[in-house]
């Protein structure tokens, strides 16, 4: 594996995915009862904060790893008619939305891990998008999810 093949945008996506995974281990919610007795502080990381928390971090990590493996020439994934960068964009964007939903649905006692996870998943999505732009790939369209996109007559919108 040759890490020198990674561009700056690849590094943003990969770094965001790694930081998102690290953030999943940090406290996302914490509460201090105000007493200095052991065991009275409660904290929960992403793995205990619900599906949106841990799955958002894992999706960002997967997107970052796909970008890294493609850039280093180790593995190239095509899903339907989507290239690796497009699929990584989808994974990272869904991961960011999941973490954002976790934050919006539970705003009390938020701790550092959730904020770091939110920033890291956003960085992964941005890095995946910019990595796609580097190789001439744009944002995935509905045709990419329809299983081809090239077989629809011109002027018609594809059906999913």
Tens-place pLDDT, residues 16-59: 999 999 999 999 998 877 666 666 678 899 999 999 999 999 99
The percentage of residues in the chain with a pLDDT greater than 90, rounded to a whole number, is 57
Report the alpha-carbon distance of residue 3 to residue 49 in Å, rounded.
Answer: 34
Over residues 98-114, the mean pLDDT reads 92
Is the model more confident about 150 or about 73?
Answer: 73
Residue 157 pLDDT > 50, yes or no? Answer: yes
Cβ(81)–Cβ(148) below 8 Å: yes
Residue 75 pLDDT > 70, yes or no? Answer: yes
Over residues 63-81, the mean pLDDT reads 88
Residue 152 pLDDT > 60, yes or no? Answer: no
Report the alpha-carbon distance of residue 120 to residue 93 in Å, rounded.
Answer: 11
Other C-beta atoms closer than 10 Å to the C-beta of 66 total: 26
Helices (H), the chain: 8-25, 51-71, 84-105, 112-134, 142-145
The pTM of the full predicted model, rounded to 2 decimals, is 0.81
Report the alpha-carbon distance of residue 124 to residue 23 in Å, rounded.
Answer: 13
Contacts 24+ apart (CB under 8 A), 37-45: 43/111, 45/113
Is the model more confident about 136 or about 21?
Answer: 21
Task: Work out the burial of residue 59: count CB atoms within 10 Å of its CB; fewer than 13 is exposed, 13-18 middle, 19 or more buried.
Answer: buried
């Amino acid at each position: 594996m040759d890490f020198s093949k990674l561009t700056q945008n690849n590094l943003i996506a990969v770094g965001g995915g790694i930081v998102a995974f690290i953030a999943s281990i940090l406290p996302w919610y914490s509460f201090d009862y105000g007493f200095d007795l052991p065991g009275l502080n409660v904290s929960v990381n992403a793995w205990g904060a619900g599906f949106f928390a841990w799955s958002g971090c894992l999706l960002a990590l997967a997107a970052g790893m796909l970008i890294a493996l493609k850039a280093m020439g180790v593995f190239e994934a095509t899903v339907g008619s989507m290239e690796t960068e497009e699929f990584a964009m989808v994974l990272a964007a869904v991961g960011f939305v999941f973490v954002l939903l976790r934050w919006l649905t539970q705003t009390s006692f938020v701790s550092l891990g959730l904020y770091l996870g939110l920033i890291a998943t956003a960085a992964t999505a941005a890095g995946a998008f910019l990595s796609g732009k580097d190789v001439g790939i744009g944002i995935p369209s509905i045709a990419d999810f329809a299983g081809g996109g090239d077989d629809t007559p011109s002027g018609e919108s594809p059906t999913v």
